[in-house]
Structure 1
Amino acid sequence: MVKESVSELKVEEPVAFEDANWQKKSVYRKRHSWLIPLLVGTGLGGIIAFGGMRLSSHSVSEKTTLAEKKTVQKVAPTMSVTVTPVETTRVARTLSTKGTVAARDLTPVLPQANGLQIKKILVNIGEIVKAGQVMAVLDDSVLQDQIRQAKADVEAKQADVASKQADLASKQAVVVSTRATVVSNQAIVQQKQADFAQAQAKLRDAQINFRRTQELTSQGAISQQQLDTATTNLATATEAVSLAQANIKSAQANVSSAQANIGSAEANVKIAQANINSAQASVKSSTAKMEQLKTQLGQTLLRAPVSGVVAEKLARVGDVTGIAPQTQIATVVGGTQKLFSIIQDGKLELQAQVPEIQLTQVKIGSKVQVTSDVDNRVKLQGRVRDIEPMINQEKREATVKIDLPQTTLLKPGMFARAAISTVTTIGLAVPQKAVLPQSDGSAIVFILSGVDTVRAQKVELGEILVGGRVEIKSGLQQGNASRVRVVVDGAGYVKDGDTVRVVNTQ
């Protein structure tokens, strides 16, 4: 038995003592080989003597060791962490697309007066302007000369009107005088008619006297001389009647002539009035032309039609309005050269392209998260304002117009991405800091198991939520989500099964 034990020890010793001091111990055994049998015997005796004790105390020793290990683990955790409960929240599903930033209302600034040279430009691209603000000044020297000529023309025509008004007054006076003549001649006619009546009465007396005298003369009662006198008186009375009739006709002729003169005078008055009207119309025309020139003079100050941001500056000092340079043929709007364009009120929109098959998911008023691949500062919330009715026949896409908040990070022509909210569901969310991406593309979170142990749990991520949170689509059970706590601060420094100290629960 002893020899077999010794041989066993000799075979196993090189294996059992492979450490840094193995060579020193081997030399020691060679020098003191005579002690081996003694040590073996003593060892066997010790084994026999204490075998019972070892058997009786083996179970107690194991329990003590396990308790000590647990005590050591509790006393010395790996690190301190903070945890937070898994949150049940409403998650908005989104439709991802991209598009081009454009001005919602791009207002052209056109010159109101053509043929004038641009003298000054007072704004630049990107500047904010107010409605009515002067953007450019045009040369007004030509207009000033035209205004002076128009003013002189107005004054000359006003003098002509005054002259024609004086002529009208003269002709109106002739009408008044002629009417007075008519009245006077009518009175003369009446007087002549009275004279005629008196002459007829005298003629009747003379005729009666002549017949009586003639009868008496034939009877011899009176002399022939008296008959001659009666004959003379009759002839005189007859002549007086004829003269009175002639005077009446003459007076009536004068009345007719005066009345004819009234018609002529009144016709002259109408002509004079027409001349005045023509002259006054000419004055009004010249005055209107002068006022138009004054208006154009005011238009030499090119003002902003709306408030907003200057998007384009096509005008140059020295250019003539209404004559677009060869390089700006495309900037002619409605036959007039465009000098500037303004993004009204600085409002921008994202014109996103949505495939026809997904168009039914997009609703007017839906919220949209807008980001940029080239600028991580762009994190804006927009809203769907309109969906164009026409679909691109080649790409089978529709343009969705998304209102953007005012920002200096985006400019017309830039590309941006849009996540359009489609439906809202109930889901689970954790802080983004609690999620640890893995090399294989997956992600894990550490769940607090019990009081102080963490357990790695593989999860599938969903939507990025507000407040630095992310949706957990799978990996966590929704029913008991509120009782599950995940590690937030310190999640990147622990591993599965680590013991931790929870210093704060968020």
Structure 2
Amino acid sequence: MDVPRLRYPHSGKRNRLIGLGLATLLIGGTGAFFFTRRPASTPQTVATSTQSVTVAPVQTASISRTINATGTVAARDLLPIAPEASGLQVQQVLANEGQTVRSGQELAILSSDVLRSQLNQSQAQSTSAQAVLGQRQATLQQQQATLAEAQSNLRRYQQLAQSGAISQADLEQRATAVATAQAAVSTAQAGIGQAQADIQASQADIQRLQTQLGQTIVRSPANGVVAESLAKVGDVASTSNPLFRLIRNGDLELQIKLPATQLPQVKVGSPVRITSDVDRQINVQGTVREIAPLVDPQTRQATIKINLPQNPAIRSGLFLRAAITTQTTQALTIPSKAVLPQSNGSSTVFVLQPDGTVRSQTVQTGVTQGNDPNNTTVEIAQGLNTGDRVVVAGSGYVKDGDRVTIAQQ
């Protein structure tokens, strides 16, 4: 029995749609397979980055071996200035501490009223003595005339006595007159001598008082800088107490102490770099002026005196540092910034290789030198050679074997 085939509306169209869908899936899956799978023969590219750094060559330079010490600034020659007259009050103070003065400049004025009064009195006494001298000189002339007359009379009477014209008593009377006149002349001469002595004494007093009046002006004995002004208006001056202390010519020195073991390394004339921890303006060059011949038996140290240049920032009493150059040699150097201190106490640098990578190298450092704290160089005693190039800026951001790019400096 034949079963009739059922027919559905649109059944042909439906079959075509199913076939088209299967074909699409097959093509899509195949394409996805080819697009997601990379051929084995194509290498994969990996992006890398390099650190930008600056480098500096290892150079040969002069290295100064130094002994470091600290000390105090002092006056090279400190002059006490005391008045030359005692018992006088200070009337004016004309110089202040820190003031630069010249030789002979007035520093203070003392009271002069008493001295001027005494001078006037001595001058009056001198005038009076000169008047007395004049009177006594006139008296002497009179007495000398009287003596001459008496002597003339005596000679005449002596002739008369020989002829018997006068008595012996008359002759003796004339002789007595001569003796009296001679005594009067001697007295007048003595009076003149006394008057002359009085004049000399009054002149000496006048000269002394004029000198003392000059001493009421206290003057600087030399060019220099006033270190201390001890004078105060109203104080009574004394020759034993200074009114000022003067730094002669303003010359200062740095006084340091060194152990006896270091003294053989220091020579008079050795250059010294002077710096301050608190004032960056103080960075000057000095020289060793004097090495004390005696060593303190207690501390086993000796004093070294170092000349200082004129510098308004350097004052007596300042605490400064000194680096005394004891030897100058040639050595390998690099910028200090290239050295990386390690936790174990060693130091390393990064050396640029021909292939553009860097290699870590342990080095032994020596003396650091340079006036600019941000631009110093350090001696390399071991670990590098002339011509090597080391990383300076950026050394803290690279590691052994890294490839670097050299930046323009």
TM-score bin, normalised by smaller chain: 0.7 to 0.9
Q: CA deviation at 1:336?
A: 0.9
Q: CA deviation at 1:110?
A: 0.6
Contact 1:382/1:405 (<8 A) preserved = yes
CA shift digits 1:166-222 (9 cap, x unpaired): 222222323433444455456x46xx86xxxxxxxxxxxxxxxxxxxxxxxxxxxxx
Q: Secondary structure at the match of 2:138?
A: helix
**Counterpart Cα distance in 2 of 1:288 and 1:157:** 13
Q: Which amino acid aligns with 2:84?
A: Q
Q: Which amino acid aligns with 2:101?
A: V
**Counterpart Cα distance in 2 of 1:384 and 1:429:** 27
Structure 1 position 153 matched with structure 2 position 60: no
Q: Secondary structure at the match of 1:405?
A: coil
Tell me which residue corresponds to 1:307. 223
**Counterpart Cα distance in 1 of 2:151 and 2:356:** 130
Q: CA deviation at 1:262?
A: 5.4
Q: Which amino acid aligns with 1:131?
A: S
* Structure 1 unmatched ranges of 5 or more: 1-33, 194-243, 323-334
Q: Which amino acid aligns with 2:398?
A: K
Contact 1:459/1:472 (<8 A) preserved = no
Q: Which amino acid aligns with 1:415?
A: F
Q: CA deviation at 1:280?
A: 1.9
Taking only aligned residues, the RMSD between alpha carbons, in angstroms, comes to 3.7
Structure 1 position 495 matched with structure 2 position 398: yes
User: Against the structure 1 CA distance between its residues 318 and 499, is the aligned structure 2 distance closer, same or farther, given a 3 Å change threshold?
Assistant: same
Structure 1 position 459 matched with structure 2 position 375: no
**Counterpart Cα distance in 1 of 2:365 and 2:200:** 80
**Counterpart Cα distance in 1 of 2:345 and 2:91:** 63
Q: Secondary structure at the match of 2:295?
A: strand
In structure 2, which of residues 313, 332, 341 is the aligned counterpart of residue 409 of structure 1?
Answer: 313
**Counterpart Cα distance in 2 of 1:273 and 1:151:** 24
**Counterpart Cα distance in 2 of 1:461 and 1:451:** 27
TM-score by length of 1: 0.63
**Counterpart Cα distance in 1 of 2:133 and 2:355:** 110
In structure 1, which of residues 314, 317, 323 is the aligned counterpart of residue 233 of structure 2?
Answer: 317
Q: CA deviation at 1:147?
A: 1.9
Once the two structures are overlaid, the 10-residue window that deviates more, 397-406 or 88-97, is 88-97
**Counterpart Cα distance in 2 of 1:250 and 1:86:** 134
**Counterpart Cα distance in 2 of 1:84 and 1:179:** 122
User: Against the structure 1 CA distance between its residues 380 and 444, is the aligned structure 2 distance closer, same or farther, given a 3 Å change threshold?
Assistant: farther
Tell me which residue corresponds to 2:65. 93
Once the two structures are overlaid, the 10-residue window that deviates more, 335-344 or 459-468, is 459-468
User: Against the structure 1 CA distance between its residues 454 and 174, is the aligned structure 2 distance closer, same or farther, given a 3 Å change threshold?
Assistant: farther
**Counterpart Cα distance in 1 of 2:62 and 2:133:** 85
Q: Which amino acid aligns with 2:223?
A: S
In structure 1, which of residues 129, 144, 149 is the aligned counterpart of residue 116 of structure 2?
Answer: 144
Q: Which amino acid aligns with 2:198?
A: S
Structure 1 position 474 matched with structure 2 position 378: no
Q: CA deviation at 1:320?
A: 1.0
Where do residues 96-175 of structure 1 align in structure 2 (5 Å cutoff)? 96-175=68-147
Tell me which residue corresponds to 1:398. 302
Where do residues 227-306 of structure 1 align in structure 2 (5 Å cutoff)? 244=163, 246-247=164-165, 253=171, 257-258=174-175, 265-266=181-182, 268-306=184-222
Contact 1:464/1:471 (<8 A) preserved = yes
Q: Secondary structure at the match of 1:111?
A: coil
Q: Which amino acid aligns with 1:87?
A: Q
Equivalent pairs counted in the alignment come to 374
User: Against the structure 1 CA distance between its residues 181 and 375, is the aligned structure 2 distance closer, same or farther, given a 3 Å change threshold?
Assistant: same
User: Against the structure 1 CA distance between its residues 470 and 295, is the aligned structure 2 distance closer, same or farther, given a 3 Å change threshold?
Assistant: same
Q: Which amino acid aligns with 1:172?
A: Q
Contact 2:364/2:383 (<8 A) preserved = no
Structure 1 position 79 matched with structure 2 position 48: no
Q: CA deviation at 1:486?
A: 4.1
Structure 1 position 375 matched with structure 2 position 279: yes
Contact 1:383/1:404 (<8 A) preserved = yes
Q: CA deviation at 1:491?
A: 4.8
Structure 1 position 419 matched with structure 2 position 323: yes
TM-score by length of 2: 0.77
Q: Secondary structure at the match of 1:413?
A: coil
User: Against the structure 1 CA distance between its residues 151 and 451, is the aligned structure 2 distance closer, same or farther, given a 3 Å change threshold?
Assistant: farther
In structure 2, which of residues 236, 241, 244 is the aligned counterpart of residue 337 of structure 1?
Answer: 241
Q: CA deviation at 1:301?
A: 2.1
Q: CA deviation at 1:123?
A: 2.3
Where do residues 424-443 of structure 1 align in structure 2 (5 Å cutoff)? 424-437=328-341, 442-443=346-347
Q: Which amino acid aligns with 1:355?
A: P
Which has more helix, going by share of residues? 1
User: Against the structure 1 CA distance between its residues 177 and 373, is the aligned structure 2 distance closer, same or farther, given a 3 Å change threshold?
Assistant: same
Q: Which amino acid aligns with 1:292?
A: R
* Structure 2 unmatched ranges of 5 or more: 1-24
Contact 1:367/1:420 (<8 A) preserved = yes
Larger radius of gyration: 1
**Counterpart Cα distance in 1 of 2:355 and 2:181:** 125
Q: CA deviation at 1:163?
A: 1.8
Tell me which residue corresponds to 2:15. none
Contact 2:78/2:245 (<8 A) preserved = yes
